[in-house]
Amino acid sequence: MTQRVFPVPNVLKSTTRVDLQTYQNLYRRSLEEPESFWREQARILDWVKPFTTVKKTHYSPDNVTIEWFADGALNACFNCLDRHARERGDDVAILWEADTPGETRRVTWSDLQQEVSRLANALERLGVNKGDFVSVYLPVVPEAIAAMLACARIGAVHSVVFSGFSSEALAGRIEDCRSRVLITADEGMRAGKHVPLKKNADAALQNLPFVEHVLVVRRTGRDVPMTPGRDRWYDEALAEVSAECPPVEVGAEDPLFVLYTSGSTGKPKGMLHTTGGYLVHAATSFRAMFDYRPGDIHFCTADVGWVTAHTYLIYGPLANGATIVLFEGVPTWPDASRWWQIIETYRVNIFYTAPTAIRSLMREGEAPVRKHDLSSLRVMGSVGEPINPEAWLWYHEIVGGGRCPIIDTYWQTETGAVLLCPLPGATDLKPGSAAKPFFGVRPALLNSDGAPVDGEGSGNLCFGDSWPGQARTILGDRERFLKTYFTTFPGYYFTGDGARRDADGYYWITGRLDDVINVSGHRLGTVEVETALASHASVAEAAVVGMPHEIKGQGIFAFVTLKDGVIESDELRRELVQIVRTRIGPIATPDRIEWAPQLPKNRSGKILRRILTRIAAGDFENHGDTSTVADPAVVAEIVRRVQVSA
Ligand code: ATP
Ligand code: MG
């Protein structure tokens, strides 16, 4: 496929704050004079106490230090709420759309301010102090945002746990941060089904006697058991306290939240984020990467349990005073037009989602999209995985009508906010590439000896200096933090991902380094092979892993999901082998192709290649840490098929 380039649309060029020239100048300045650059950027926030030093950061092996704006003080909740409530309290902050079509709520800035203040007072009554951890196990409802902001208001540290997680996963995450207070709901709603949150929470708390209080939001109103002395209804606790609660002064380096990585490669890590740097990075990058303009309606589809929601559904947008759409449900229920209908209803301008969702909606065809007027969209984003060009083009043409730039944002729970992305008014787009570094970000590709690869080439994706949103540690495990990110390549932050830099300086993520396959001494990224497979018209999605091979060391095992209605055949297998040979070369020829009705994914939709690797090696029992697998039945079905055809 010849590489297509999508130039910046003319209308954006003339209206944007950041055009190509501005990006290049600012980027250069951000590297040459980081202190003055970030000092200026930090004005996006209101500070209680101005900082004097901007950055104190070292990555040397014997001294890893990450501090930003360290002697300044601020309150994240004030920045995301009070300053907007003061100016325009009656404007809408949250447009909530429930799982059930037709059920909606509009929350104004002053509504939210009152609710957050009451909850903050209620938490203080329960003995929550500055620095204490509070766990949150809620569906995507306005109360989840209130819970996060209420913690921030009093300097407590929130730990949001995805409401799709089991009681064991919840228990592990509560135990890890030892929170004494949990905020949950009677139930959640997902695709018309009731999710027993309180029941899961009760099971999780069975062996966690240190949890003293549980606040329960009434979401569905169904009867749930309440443990006297421990459990209280959220609304009753809020009714008893005042709606005024002044935000406390919080040091820039005081923690704001802990959040666990999604566990694609192993046991989730509790990443600890602090207040000042995180919020500066979240707010400035939200504004730049989506070309945010006052009055825009922003719709990010991430669940509140993921970092994407923390930074680009909640903190980044709210710090900018953006109106957000908060959607509780799933894109395919009651039918595959749900998101498109929401975009039409609320006249959404900025839309941010993940490739896995785009691919699943692509399988449903164009009709559900075409039914709706999506002309309000201006910018669309992608996050979580490399987006294969077929999905990119569909998103761009069918959803965005060919008008909207696709902002492919590369970042991690650890990075807090974006590191690589195009900017709408500045960067020509190449489908599948996360383009260029964000301000202040120094990417480096290192070969296995740790030497930097200059110009065109591939290597281990690392970053040569800190950025404000960076996680400061793994909660309770500084050793693991240093070992995971700073030891492999001394002097650099190591992402664990591989990347390629093309002749124009664009970055292409080639996959997780844990997943690199070594075929007869050639290192192949999984993404490349998967992209080739997915370019076949019959393929919906593919996952590629290594398998033991007597001669080659490792062979290539491909798990392929076909589009609806396509019939599995050996003929199709041969075509797929051919397409990989043509696009990459004979070295990448799959040794085995197995049809998979679905691929095993974690709850945020990422393919769990580590499980497929074990299956490909003939190990059908031990899948490692499976607490993050979304649907165990998918794994069982793949095991069955592989065993039958072995
Ligand atoms: P764990 O670290 O526990 O294995 P995880 O890496 O899946 O879990 P996240 O922090 O949610 O947890 O995901 C970050 C990873 O997602 C990145 O390291 C990268 O592999 C992938 N990723 C995110 N955005 C992009 C993108 N735009 N393009 C390519 N890959 C991306
Ligand atoms: Mg990771």
Residues 242-275 have pLDDT tens digits of: 999 999 999 999 999 999 998 888 788 999 999 9
The CATH number, out of the four listed (3.40.50.2300, 3.40.50.980, 3.40.960.10, 3.20.20.120), of the domain defined by the range 108-251: 3.40.50.980
Average pLDDT of the chain?
A: 95
Residue 336 is labelled as binding a ligand:
no
State residue 1's pLDDT score: 47
Half-sphere exposure of 228 (CA within 13 A, CB side): 0
CB-based burial, 430-468: b 16+ in 10 Å, e otherwise: bbbbbbbbbbbbbbbbbeeeeeebeeeebbbbbbbbbbb
- Domain spans of the chain? 108-251, 520-645
User: CA of 501: how far to CAs of 171, 183, 322, 430, 555, in Å?
Assistant: 42, 45, 34, 12, 26
Pocket of ligand 1 (CB under 6 A): 261-266, 268-269, 383-386, 408-413, 434, 495-497, 509, 512, 606
**Ligand 1 atom index nearest CA of 387:** 28
Structure token digits, residue 453: 């690869």
ipTM of the complex: 0.99
Residue 188 is labelled as binding a ligand:
no
Beta strands in 491-564 (DSSP E): 493-501, 507-512, 517-519, 522-524, 539-549, 553-562
pLDDT digits (tens, 9 = 90+) for 582-637: 888 888 999 999 999 999 998 888 999 999 999 999 998 887 777 778 888 999 99
**Ligand 1 atom index nearest CA of 495:** 18
Mutate to test the pocket of ligand 1, among 259, 262, 601 (most ligand atoms within 8 A of CB): 262
pLDDT digits (tens, 9 = 90+) for 547-597: 999 888 899 999 999 998 999 999 999 999 999 998 888 889 999 999 999
Q: DSSP labels for 555-577?
A: EEEEEEEEPTTPPP-HHHHHHHH
**From ligand 1's centre to the CA of 177, what distance in Å?**
23
pLDDT above 70: percentage of residues in the chain: 100
Task: Please name which ligand lies nearest the alpha carbon of 267.
Answer: 1
Maximum distance among all Cα pairs of the chain, rounded to whole angstroms: 72
**Ligand 1 atom index nearest CA of 409:** 27
State residue 630's pLDDT score: 82
Task: Please name which ligand lies nearest the alpha carbon of 628.
Answer: 1
Task: Please name which ligand lies nearest the alpha carbon of 509.
Answer: 1
- Report the CATH architecture of 520-645: 2-Layer Sandwich (3.30)
**Ligand 1 atom index nearest CA of 269:** 3
pLDDT digits (tens, 9 = 90+) for 311-346: 999 999 999 999 999 999 999 999 999 999 999 999
Residue 523 is labelled as binding a ligand:
yes
Residue 386 is labelled as binding a ligand:
yes
**From ligand 1's centre to the CA of 153, what distance in Å?**
30
Residue 192 is labelled as binding a ligand:
yes
How far apart are the two ends of the chain, measured CA to CA in Å?
A: 34
What angle separates helix 526-534 from helix 570-583, to the nearest 10 degrees? 120
CB-based burial, 250-262: b 16+ in 10 Å, e otherwise: bbbbbbbbbbbbb
Task: Please name which ligand lies nearest the alpha carbon of 411.
Answer: 1
Structure token digits, residue 48: 């209680």
pLDDT digits (tens, 9 = 90+) for 204-255: 999 999 999 999 999 999 999 999 999 999 999 999 999 999 999 999 999 9
Phi-psi region of 622 (alpha: psi -120 to 50; beta: other; left: phi over 0): beta
Phi-psi region of 543 (alpha: psi -120 to 50; beta: other; left: phi over 0): beta
Residue 191 is labelled as binding a ligand:
yes
Mutate to test the pocket of ligand 1, among 387, 411, 477, 506 (most ligand atoms within 8 A of CB): 411
Q: Is the peptide bond before 355 cis (omega within 30 degrees of 0)?
A: no
User: How many Å apart are CA 314 and CA 302, to the nearest integer?
Assistant: 10
User: How many Å apart are CA 385 and CA 434, to the nearest integer?
Assistant: 10
Tokens 């190591």, located at residue? 494
